[in-house]
Structure formats: structure tokens, C-alpha cells
Amino acid sequence: MAAMATATASLSSAKPRSPFFDHHSSTFHGLSLHSHVAAAGRSPRHQGLSVSASSKYDLEAFRFEPIKESIVSREMTRRYMTDMITHADTDVVIVGAGSAGLSCAYELSKDPGVRVAIVEQSVSPGGGAWLGGQLFSAMVVRKPAHRFLDELGVEYDDAGAEASYVVIRHAALFTSTILSKVLARPNVKLFNAVAAEDLIVREGRVAGVVTNWALVSLNHDTQSCMDPNVMEARVVVSSCGHDGPFGATGVKRLRSIGLVDNIPGMKALDMNAAEDAIVRLTREVVPGMIVTGMEVAEIEGSARMGPTFGAMMISGQKAAHLALKALGRPNALDGSLGSLHPEMMLASAESSDVADA
Ligand SMILES: Cc1cc2nc3c(=O)[nH]c(=O)nc-3n(C[C@H](O)[C@H](O)[C@H](O)COP(=O)(O)OP(=O)(O)OC[C@H]3O[C@@H](n4cnc5c(N)ncnc54)[C@H](O)[C@@H]3O)c2cc1C
């Protein structure tokens, strides 16, 4: 995000917090800048960089700070390996970073005492929520799920108090906003391009997931003996979406190992019935494993809803509070966060309420 230099201006310096980069001189648009690198997450206006009014946008003179290639490798490797070690045994693993999984992660992340790993097989998190129906752009959200959008700060068109729904101009606005908030939380780690290939099950209880690089998972038929890795978790949230190549994988595995008898599959479209049912039926389907989002319709045989997304958000929130309850943490479902109806108040629950309760 390049800030164009006009009059004396504050500029963003997105350099990492590192002894190599603190308190140094730099160049921006060919100008000498004296940077005191701000804490991550601060806005540019807090970052003490200034440019004179006569600045020229001169990319011929633009130079990045030098770096040794091996430093790039070490920074990535050390962080990723540290994350893998941290989450080898974690509180909650969410499988699937679609709208339901991300809503769940967002809600869980409010409790700083809970560690969350998201496993997403795609390189690009977001699932089916980058577009509305028929690959159109707008995302329809039925009230009162718009309160979740208010909390996230996602703008929408609202025809007024009498209207039953709101419309986000582009579905990607919702998905990019919630992604950016989830990724900024220190207690959440997204492992994308990683698939959950299987579940860890001990004495009838789901106790984690079996993971592998998604590209490896897709090639088990072409190579042999590409053993996976594991993540133990006190709670697994399965938000793998409706059936498809990488859909409903959590509940399909439950059936193949005999922990559930039947997966009826989602029924024909009925928006009104479907969304309420998804929220109502979001639950711990077997000990240790909560199912949320469209995967609920697969295991419960409830109606599909088509391109309306409020149920994914509220189902994800409910899954988060079910997980908090299972972890013995303050949650909205057993009243420890207050007396408001969960579907109404989850979105507006303050993080301090969770932390303080
Ligand atoms: C063809 C198509 C049909 C649709 N039909 C409907 C419909 O009938 N009703 C409806 O409401 N919406 C439908 N949608 C819209 C939209 O996909 C969903 O409503 C919404 O995205 C579901 O949210 P979700 O979070 O439950 O699942 P998704 O958005 O599908 O997210 C699931 C995520 O889990 C990941 N995942 C799955 N398995 C694994 C695994 N083993 N390991 C790691 N990651 C995994 C997937 O990559 C994906 O990112 C459809 C979309 C498409 C493209």
C-alpha cells in the first residue's frame, strides 16, 4: 500500500520487528526516511515517518534494504516449525477455512487462553465464500446475522429496519475482512495447503487430526508410503463444507470408521428452513468433534440454502462456544457470558467479556 507523498505525510513501514530493521534509515520513493519501526498492527499515522512536500515519485532510485537469502529461508522455516511444534498438541483444530470455519476461529480467538489451529487443504482459504450464487459478486445475509458483520466492520446495504436481509457488495469483502482479523490474532495459526487426511480416535473420542501437505494427499495414488503427520486437539471442529472432492471429509470419515451410521446428504433447497436448521443442528456429533457449516446439512440431511451465508457465520459462532464449553472456558451457551440469547449476542460479545468472565 504505497502512500503517495504529497505534503508532509506519515508513511507506512511494513518491515518486520527485528533487530536488523529497528531504528534505521531507509529510502522511500527515492527519499531518505528516518524510521522508528512501529509495533505490528499500528496504523501508518502512528509510525513517525515523514516526507517533504517536494518529494518525487522516483522508482529509478528505489532500493530495498539488502538481505541475505539464507535469512529469508531461516525466518520462514523457524516460524513454521515453531508453529508446528506449538500446535502438535493444541486446544482446537478447525478443519476447513470456509465461512463457517473462519467464523468459528474468529469467535474462539477472542479467548486468549485458547490455542487454535486451522487446517485448510486449499492454498487459498475462504472456501466457497469468495462469491455469491452463480458466481455473482453480492453476498446476501439474512438478519439478525448482520450483527456479526457490524462487529467485523463489514459494510453492507440495508433497506431499513423492515428489511429481512442485508447485502454485501462483494462476498470477497466479507471473506477478506474476517480472514485478516483471524490471521492477526496471536492465538490462531492457519496451516493452508494442509489437508486433514484422517482423525485421531481414542476410545470412541476424536482426539485430533492426521495431516499432510494437500498436494501429497492428492498423490497417494501415484506414490507410496507418504506418511502423514498429526495434531492432537482437545476439540476438533469440522467445517469441511458440503460434499465434493474435498467436501464433508470429516463426517465421511466418521461414517467409514463406524462412529456414525449414516450421512443422508443435504436435501433440496429451502432457504428459510435450511439456515435455521444449520444453526440449530450445529453440535458435537461424536465426543470430541463438533460439526459446523454446510457439513451439518450433510450429516443431518437438512435442506441446502443456496447463496445466503448468515447461517455459516452463526453456526461457526455456535461451534466456537460449544468448543469453549467443552474446554471448560467461559462461553455463551451455559450462561457464563450473560443472559442474552446466544444467536443474538454472540456477535456482539466483547472480547473482554470472554477474557474476564
Ligand atoms: C458448487 C457449489 C455449490 C454450492 N451449493 C451450496 C448450497 O447448496 N448451499 C449453500 O448454502 N451454499 C452453497 N454453496 C455456497 C458456499 O460454498 C457455501 O454456502 C459456504 O461456502 C459453505 O461454507 P462452509 O464454511 O460450510 O464450507 P466451505 O466454504 O465449502 O469451506 C470448507 C473448506 O474446508 C476445506 N476442506 C474440506 N475438507 C478438508 C480437509 N480434509 N482438510 C482440510 N481442508 C478441508 C475446503 O477446502 C474449504 O475451504 C455452493 C458453492 C459451490 C461452489
Centre of ligand 1 to C-alpha 241, Å, is 4
pLDDT for position 79: 98
Pick 89-327's CATH classification: 3.50.50.60, 3.30.530.20, 3.40.1190.20, 3.30.70.20: 3.50.50.60
Which percentage of the chain shows pLDDT scores above 90? 73
pLDDT for position 184: 97
**239 HSE (CA, 13 A, CB side):** 39
pLDDT for position 281: 97
**For 206-211, which contacts have Cβ atoms below 8 Å and span 24 or more sequence positions?**
206/236, 206/259, 206/286, 206/287, 206/288, 206/289, 207/232, 207/233, 207/288, 208/93, 208/232, 208/233, 208/236, 209/93, 209/95, 209/119, 209/233, 209/236, 211/119
* Phi, psi of 46, rounded to the nearest 5 degrees: -90, 0
The residue to which cell 455469491 is assigned: 132
Dihedral-angle region of residue 290 (phi above 0 means left; psi in -120 to 50 means alpha; beta otherwise): beta
Q: Does 129 belong to an annotated binding site?
A: no
pLDDT for position 43: 46
Centre of ligand 1 to C-alpha 126, Å, is 9
Instruction: List pLDDT tens digits, range 88-139.
Output: 999 999 999 999 999 999 999 999 999 999 999 999 999 999 999 999 999 9
All structural domains of the chain with their residue ranges: 89-327
Total Cβ atoms within 10 A of residue 306: 14
- Asked whether 240 lines ligand 1 (CB < 6 A), one says yes
pLDDT for position 339: 55
- Is the Cβ–Cβ distance between 162 and 133 less than 8 Å? no
pLDDT for position 230: 98
DSSP reduced 3-state for 186:
coil
pLDDT for position 146: 96
Q: What are the pLDDT tens digits along the chain (357 aa)?
A: 333 333 333 333 333 333 322 333 333 333 343 434 444 444 444 444 445 556 678 888 899 999 999 999 999 999 999 999 999 999 999 999 999 999 999 999 999 999 999 999 999 999 999 999 999 999 999 999 999 999 999 999 999 999 999 999 999 999 999 999 999 999 999 999 999 999 999 999 999 999 999 999 999 989 888 999 999 999 999 999 999 877 999 999 999 999 999 999 999 999 999 999 999 999 999 999 999 999 999 999 999 998 999 999 999 999 999 999 999 999 988 878 765 445 445 544 443 343 333
- Asked whether 118 lines ligand 1 (CB < 6 A), one says no
Q: Does 350 belong to an annotated binding site?
A: no
Centre of ligand 1 to C-alpha 351, Å, is 28
- Asked whether 129 lines ligand 1 (CB < 6 A), one says yes
pLDDT for position 57: 81
- Asked whether 128 lines ligand 1 (CB < 6 A), one says yes
- Asked whether 315 lines ligand 1 (CB < 6 A), one says no
- Asked whether 296 lines ligand 1 (CB < 6 A), one says no
Instruction: List pLDDT tens digits, range 7-25.
Output: 333 333 333 333 322 333 3
Centre of ligand 1 to C-alpha 242, Å, is 5
pLDDT for position 54: 61
The residue to which cell 495431516 is assigned: 211
Cite the beta strand spans of 24-158 per DSSP E.
24-28, 31-35, 89-95, 116-120, 139-142, 157-158
